[in-house]
Chains A and B, each alone.
Chain A
Amino acid sequence: MSVETAVGLAVLLPFAGILLIALLGRWPNLRETASLATGASTFAVVAGVILPVVQMGGRPRLDLVAVLPGLDLAFEVEPLGMLFALVASGLWIVTTIYSIGYMRGHHEEHQTRFYICFALAISGALGVAFAANVFTLFVFYEAITLSTYPLVTHHGTEAAKKAGRVYLGILMGTSVAFLLFALVWTYLAAGTTEFRPGGILAGRVEGWHLMVLLALYAFGTGKAALMPFHRWLPAAMVAPTPVSALLHAVAVVKAGVFTVLKIIIYVFGIDLLATTDASRWLCWVAAFTILAASIIALTKDNLKARLAYSTVSQLSYIVLGGALATTAGVMGGGMHIAMHALGKITLFFCAGAIMVGAHKTKISEIDGLGRRMPFTFGAFFLGSLSVIGLPPMGGSWSKWYLILGTIEADQLAMMVVLMVSSLLSIGYLMPVVGRAFFRPSPEDDEHGGSPRGGIHEAPFLCVLPPVLTGIGCVVAFFYADDIYELLMGIVAR
């Protein structure tokens, strides 16, 4: 097939999957097979057909329809979008395996609706990844918000409904009030909303207008969880853990920071921002979010809440990378999309496994649990190291490039922020591992300090994925070079 068709196919395959899932809803095993098959085939198309073309320097384009004069629905694949698409479609497969274990182990209801909305959300993420212009990105961005709402409110309880209101309110509120405004403004100023290397605003928007426009984009992208519009992320933790794992570690949040990065690179242009210093304020907002969210994470006893605030903090790493407006910063930010996704999804998988296997949600309750769930906590350890940014984990490379970016941009204060944040992340992640492995568990005390009954892991399908992604963090360390090569295509042209 032509690579252009492949692009369209990648976005549409999840839809075909939806039909299959809906039809097979009554036979769980067949339904799950349909989900897996859709995920595998989508990844195959993305990695097998589109990736090689992009790596060679190609930018496949698919024009769909001109909705309004000047507003086209179109796809064009470039390196950053390619990376995001790989991450989203690849991790979807792992998450589907995990969901099967979790949803069944936890006896969840409405599983068909769950898998359908998941597929919709991934399709939305791929649409965002491949968008050729801000309008198309906006369309799929909103599609993600709407398709993930049923996932966030999955349990249907009062708490879920309230969380759904915060989720929808903040995400739709910011996208309508700020992002749409920015979209219209961009169209009026530049005559188009197309993503172009070097940006489309040079010479069209000047001075403080440029800063306001950047602010509208940054705060309008609520999914990037820049403070003060971050509250939806902890609120969304009320969803089942597979949702938190894929969507709030990978698809939804990465769509947000991807949007910010893409707009910085292809609408504003790194050079324009560097010469006009229009993004310096954004560095500070991102820095504040990094530190404040890390500190809040330290105070949280609920494991998922702690991970949620950790995500808020880590997302701003990527925003910071873009705001530094240097090559290394952007590289670091882009790479962190992949590295953080791997690391965080591991952590969330583990959190869910702990919930299913041991029925515990609070960190104060997990003393000694590591001896009974060694694989889960082992994976958690690997994921933590990656998020903290220590070698030999993939996260260390992205952190390295971000620090390089702060030096390139002559913003040493930001380097300090990144260092402090690493210390803070040690502070909120290592205790989890420490308590799990080295503290005696309350039940063990009765038996004189040795683990009772040996290993009592979570269901196999809940443990396999985090172990896979945890090992993936290590593997990513060695493949960082390939990612770097791919991303260099952004600045090479």
Chain B
Amino acid sequence: MSGELVERVTTNLPALQIALPLLTAAVCMVIRRARAAWALAMVVAWTSFASAGAILAWVWRHGDISYAEGGWQAPFGIELHIDLLNALVLLVVTGICAIVLTASPKSFDQEIWREHHAKVYALYLLCMTGLAGMTVTGDAFNVFVFLEISSLSSYALISQGTTRRALTSSIQYLVMGTLGGTFILLGIGMIYMVTGTLNMADMAVQLGAVGPNRTVLVALACIGIGIAIKLALFPLHIWLPNAYTYAPAIVTAFLAATSTKVAYYLLVRFIFSIFGAPLAFGALRLDAVLMPLAIAAMFAGSFVAIFQDNLKRMLAYSSVAQIGYMVLGLSLVSVSGLTGGLVHLFNHALMKSGLFLVMAAVLLRTGSVRIEAMAGLGRRMPWTMAAFVVAGLSMIGVPLTVGFVSKWYLVMGAIQAGLWPVAVLILLSSLLALIYIWRVIEVAYFREPPEDAPEVTEAPISLLGPIWVLAGATVFFGIFTSLSVGTASAAARMLLGVGQ
């Protein structure tokens, strides 16, 4: 009896992932008190995370979950479909959401007017709805709808930054993001024209029957470009540095670890599940396009990061490079490569949100995120900087951290594909990460603060706690990898149609 209850609840949870944050966002709009809105958002975020965990556990044991919205069966109704791939992504998104939200109150106090907090939390929850919706849905047009929900709320969130640059960054992101979303819409329309269905599973079947006709190839190209813009794949990454730099620190921590990850998930889903690897890599030769772009991203991003004095901008360019790693994994079209890309999705979310939360703490205490402001912080904010060192070592790829795990699979995938030079390039770009991370560590631990620097104390627990949860996770999941690697490789195998 209880087994049946668990089944009934768990198979309905996907709908809850969308409904709960959406409705709560509406409620937050009418709440006045900042902390009350935060508390409500916390309840929702952590509940969503717990439910994502339950979903993943269920999918591991019993296989895919299918939920028909409104009782209308697929392929006519909208279906929510969860397999190992989106269960993993959902876990990452909701987890980051919840952890970053926990750190938000003091940071928002510094950057956003108190009266607006409730509305910002509403936007945060809306963004979470959009991201979760994109992840769980099994319907292509639904993807577009949730994409736009998350995009619009992120434009608004980014514009909440303290300087007026936040406004121009937001509109730059808006223009590019809307172009991207519209390209995706166009691609979906073309697929609909050819197959007559919007359900992802059905599309896969129909496209298989149609084969590589020109409309299908153009559809894939349009969707690819659209997603590439949202993913900030070089050279369509222009919006990212400004958006991450000038948004409020918490918003950056949240978006850096979620929005590009979900875009990557979409790319994987469309290429492997819907269009299929033979069409995407055989007829359209996407790997020949994506691999050079990915490698260019890895080097350009890391190289430019070295010269940045604004540390949020440095981490933003670093993200561009890391996205390159993920796409490189995809373009290898092998189990190792795709596992590397997916596991890097998980790992990078942990590392980057941790690093950006450290920046939030530094901003809170010193009022600046420029590298000069870090002088002497090794002694004055020891725990915060220690977390930076841990997450930084993970970015470099020191073994027993998550960064190493991603690099391992990517290098292995490259060597297995016979692409020795690519393997060397992956390793060389990690050394670039060593340079920009160590630059910060040197200033924090070797330079003395100037005479007139204000008194600085350690970050508050509300920030330090989440920072250390994330930093600790970068080590924990670097040693006990069965969750991330196990799920990623099982998903990769499923996507490539390879047996266990």
Contact = CB atoms under 8 A, between A and B. Distances in A.
- Tell me, yes or no, whether A and B come into direct contact in the complex with CB atoms closer than 8 A: yes
Interface of A: 65, 67-69, 71, 73, 135, 138-139, 142, 146, 153, 156, 161, 164-165, 168-169, 172-173, 176-177, 180-181, 184-185, 187-188
Contact of A135 (B399, B416, B442): B399
Given A161-B442, A173-B431, A176-B427, A184 B411 contact: yes
Contacts of B434: 168-169, 172-173, 176
A107 to B, nearest CB: 20
Contacts of B400: 67, 139
29 contacts: A67-B400, A67-B405, A67-B478, A67-B480, A68-B485, A73-B479, A139-B399, A142-B399, A146-B393, A153-B446, A161-B442, A161-B446, A164-B442, A168-B438, A172-B396, A172-B431, A176-B427, A176-B434, A177-B424, A177-B431, A180-B397, A180-B427, A181-B411, A181-B424, A185-B415, A187-B412, A188-B412, A188-B415, A188-B416
A180 B396 contact: no
A188 B415 CA distance: 8
Pairs A-B, 3 closest by C-beta atoms? A139-B399, A184-B411, A177-B427
B398 interface: yes
B231 interface: no
B112 interface: no
Sort chain B's interface into a size bin.
20 to 34
Interface in B107-160: none
Tell which of A67, A139, A168 has the most Cβ of chain B within 10 Å: A67
The winner among B396, B415, B427, B478 for most chain A CB atoms within 10 A is B427
Nearest to A150: B445
B488 to A, nearest CB: 11
Contacts of A146: 393, 398
Contacts of B393: 146
Given A168-B438, A180-B397, 8 more contacts: A142-B398, A164-B442, A176-B396, A176-B397, A176-B434, A177-B431, A181-B427, A187-B412
A68 to B, nearest CB: 6
A65 B412 contact: no
A68 B405 contact: yes
A285 B428 CA distance: 24
A44 B263 CA distance: 57
A435 to B, nearest CB: 38
B420 to A, nearest CB: 9
A161 B442 CA distance: 8
A453 to B, nearest CB: 41
Contacts of A68: 405, 408, 481, 485
B479 A65 contact: yes
Given A139-B399, A139-B400, A184 B423 contact: yes
A211 to B, nearest CB: 15
Contacts of B408: 68, 71, 184
A165 B442 CA distance: 9
Interface string B41-64: 000000000000000000000000
Contacts of A164: 442
B430 interface: yes
Given A67-B481, A181-B424, A138 B412 contact: no
B428 A184 contact: no
Contacts of B442: 161, 164-165
A271 B407 CA distance: 33
B311 to A, nearest CB: 19
Contacts of A177: 424, 427-428, 431
Contacts of B405: 67-68
A216 to B, nearest CB: 11
Contacts of B424: 177, 181
B428 A181 contact: no
Contact of A156 (B399, B446, B480): B446
A184 B431 contact: no
A232 to B, nearest CB: 14
A293 B478 CA distance: 40
Interface in B172-186: none
B428 to A, nearest CB: 6
A44 B408 CA distance: 37
B485 to A, nearest CB: 6
A184 B399 contact: no
B430 A176 contact: yes
Contacts of B396: 172, 176
Contacts of A65: 479-480
A99 to B, nearest CB: 22
A184 B479 contact: no
Nearest to A71: B408
Contact of B399 (A138, A165, A187): A138
Contacts of B430: 176
A187 B446 CA distance: 39
Interface in B372-410: 393, 396-400, 405, 407-408
Contacts of B397: 176, 180
Contacts of B480: 65, 67
B441 to A, nearest CB: 9
Contact of A181 (B399, B416, B423, B438): B423
Nearest to A69: B485
B377 to A, nearest CB: 15
B306 to A, nearest CB: 13
Contacts of A188: 412, 415-416
Most buried by B among A73, A146, A169, A176: A176
A149 B460 CA distance: 29
Contacts of A185: 415
A241 B340 CA distance: 44
A73 B479 CA distance: 9
A53 B479 CA distance: 30
B365 to A, nearest CB: 23
B479 to A, nearest CB: 6
A164 B445 CA distance: 12
Interface string B432-460: 00100010001000100000000000000
B398 A180 contact: no
A173 B431 CA distance: 6
Contacts of A138: 399
Nearest to A188: B415
Nearest to A68: B481
A73 B405 CA distance: 14
A67 B408 CA distance: 12
A220 to B, nearest CB: 10
Nearest to A140: B399
Interface string B474-489: 0000111100010000
Q: Which of B393, B398, B407 has the most CB of A within 10 A?
A: B398
Contacts of A181: 411, 423-424, 427
A59 to B, nearest CB: 24
A69 B343 CA distance: 14
Contacts of A73: 479
Contacts of A67: 400, 405, 478-481
Contacts of A169: 434
Contacts of A71: 408
B56 to A, nearest CB: 20
Contacts of A172: 396, 431, 434
A166 B400 CA distance: 24
A165 B438 CA distance: 9
A169 B431 CA distance: 9
A185 B414 CA distance: 11
Contacts of B479: 65, 67, 73
A139 B393 CA distance: 13
